[in-house]
Amino acid sequence: MPEILPELNDLIRVRYEKLEELKAQGIEPYGGRYERTHLAEEVRERFSELEGQEVSLAGRIMARRSHGKVTFADLQDFSGRIQIMVRQDAVGPEAYEIFKKLDLGDIIGVKGSVFKTRTGEITIAVARFELLAKSLRPLPEKWHGLKDVDLRYRQRYLDLIVNPEVKRIFILRSQIIRAIRRFLDERGFLEVETPMMQPVPGGAAARPFITYHNALEMQLYLRIAPELYLKRLLVGGFEKVYEINRNFRNEGISTRHNPEFTMLELYQAYADYQDMLKLTEELITWVAKEVLGTWQIKYGEAEIDLSPPWRRISLLEAVRQKTGIDFASLEADEAREAAERLGVELKGKTLWGEIVNEVFEELVEPELINPTFVLDYPVDISPLAKRKKEDPRLTYRFELFIGGREIANAFSELNDPLDQRERFLQQLERRRAGDEEAHMFDEDFLVALEYGMPPAGGLGIGIDRLVMLLTNSPSIREVILFPLHRPRD
């Protein structure tokens, strides 16, 4: 008996005692390979052809009801649940006594014939069973399930066992990512991989995680975005590339943010942000129809219509329509005064473009429920986007909002190495002034640009937020299998 046994509660202690009893009877409580012929849902769907035939299934005991010499149980595998029936006269008295001592949560393999009970329940009449894994801890109580949110994230494996809706979310997540890949592959995009550890983190405004490489004796940063490496591939002659990538940003945790998250980022040579706009609309509507079969979705209390074409509006016009103020006609000081009159907290922002964006994010963004492309962002907050010829204060950039949240970000990529160097220098000054999220100066990327990068459009889509939208999940932690959390004391 393990030394920790005195510290266990009574339910767990009983299970340890059963484990020892099984071993004493010569029963191996942790079996090996078990050959299955069917999954539970497959038996249910194909009942008409499988009725009377022997099948072999394996799964976890989730419920049990004994009636003298007959015991019914629910067996759960990845596909779902199915009822099994164990009769003493079918398996023998000794085996039947062993089965009666099994616990909810134990994993078993069963072989038996398919039939339907008098109440119409599809059932496996068990001829033989085998214990594959003894569960030493009880599952969450049947009627209450696993409701504690923090515990659900810490013990996601339990969440998946007892909450079928959670499993459905992650199955849909896999289907969404697979559909994205298929969409891009069929349009000639090449999937690539770029470094997760980088000597200079770039491609986004974010605080990086820092690590150290012992052999090279150098400090490295976990990737905050793959952008600058993907653009290097444009320089090298790859014209349509994408990466479904893990990014790491040393920031707070919220319903929309997790320090480790997944992004789709793609680049297309000889394209611009209008091409990216069209591609974004086509991709998301195609994925929604492919995975959900509809463009009508529910997110929270909102009914959202994904039917194309989607609304398009410039950022300045969206702000003007909401506030009645034409920020395009204001200088930075005037814009700051206008924002303060509107009650917008500027959080130390002083540049004209930063102020306009803060007003937009606080007052306009939450109201963008149906898909809306917001175009022409200020250059002050777009250091990697091409300037608009019509107004050098703005860039050829858009963000997509659905359900009041940013889903995608795209622009005509800046390919002028001189302009890019100047913007990096401006970002460097901001870092020296204490802005830890300003872009770092990347000389190697500038060298690549000096060899010539074709004009291009680039697009980033937050995979986690897209999954949140398509699965009606209120928090990013609901769509990440193992979100980050503080260790328990």
pLDDT digits (tens, 9 = 90+) for 318-349: 999 999 999 999 999 999 999 999 999 998 89
pLDDT of amino acid 473: 96
pLDDT of amino acid 304: 98
- Give 88 or 11, the one with higher predicted confidence: 88
pLDDT of amino acid 252: 84
Percent of the chain at pLDDT exceeding 70? 97
Residue 10, pLDDT above cutoff 50:
yes
Q: Residue 139, class by beta-carbon neighbours within 10 Å (0-12 exposed, 13-18 middle, 19+ buried)?
A: middle
Average pLDDT over the chain reads: 94
pLDDT of amino acid 438: 77
Residue 252 neighbours by CB distance under 10 Å:
8
Q: Return the residue matching tokens 């005064």.
A: 337
Q: What is the pTM of this model?
A: 0.92
Contact 59, 36 (CB under 8 A): no
Over residues 274-294, the mean pLDDT reads 98
- Give the pLDDT band of residue 487 (cuts 50, 70, 90): confident
Q: Is 390 annotated as a binding residue?
A: no
- Give the pLDDT band of residue 181 (cuts 50, 70, 90): very high
What is the rounded distance in angstroms from the CA atom of residue 98 to the CA atom of residue 89?
14
Structure tokens at 275: 């091409």
- Give the pLDDT band of residue 147 (cuts 50, 70, 90): low
pLDDT of amino acid 57: 98
Residue 296, pLDDT above cutoff 80:
yes
What is the rounded distance in angstroms from the CA atom of residue 50 to the CA atom of residue 42?
10
Q: Is 290 annotated as a binding residue?
A: no
- Give 255 or 460, the one with higher predicted confidence: 460
- Give the pLDDT band of residue 143 (cuts 50, 70, 90): very low
Over residues 194-198, the mean pLDDT reads 96
ω into 417 cis (within 30 of 0):
no
Contact 271, 456 (CB under 8 A): yes
Catalogue all structural domains in the chain, each as residue range(s) with its CATH number: 6-139 (2.40.50.140), 161-310+370-478 (3.30.930.10)
- Give the pLDDT band of residue 33 (cuts 50, 70, 90): very high
Question: Phi and psi at residue 103, in whole multiples of 5°?
Answer: -110, 160
- Give 255 or 481, the one with higher predicted confidence: 481
- Give the pLDDT band of residue 141 (cuts 50, 70, 90): confident
pLDDT of amino acid 294: 98
**Between the CA atoms of 157, 158, 164 and 170, what dihedral angle is there, to the nearest 10 degrees?**
-20
Structure tokens at 472: 């009606």
pLDDT digits (tens, 9 = 90+) for 354-411: 999 999 999 999 999 999 999 999 999 999 999 999 999 999 999 999 999 999 999 9
Residue 2, pLDDT above cutoff 60:
no
